Amino acid sequence: MSATWIRSSYSDQQGGYCVEWAPGLVSGGGVVPVRDSKDVNRVPLAFPPSAWTAFIEDVKRDQR
């Protein structure tokens, strides 16, 4: 299955913080695939949706 990967807005052109996730692969009760965009051939990490949501909320909270 092919996926559309979305790069984090915190990633930069110099290769820093290059994290991508594939929202199209997230299904009810499934997992959120996350990968390093500098090494797209590695197997993505898989997080439960609740863990991914908590991570995103923490990142946003730290930016205030």
Task: Indicate the pairing of strand 6-7 with strand 32-36.
Answer: unpaired
Distance of CA 24 to CAs 1, 4, 16, 58, 63, Å? 10, 7, 24, 23, 26
Model-wide pTM > 0.85: no
Q: What pLDDT score does 26 carry?
A: 66
Q: How far apart are the first and last CA of the chain?
A: 37
Please, are residues 54 and 28 in contact by the beta-carbon 8 Å criterion? Answer: no
| 8-59 pLDDT per residue, tens | 876 666 666 688 888 776 666 588 889 988 888 888 898 998 898 898 899 8
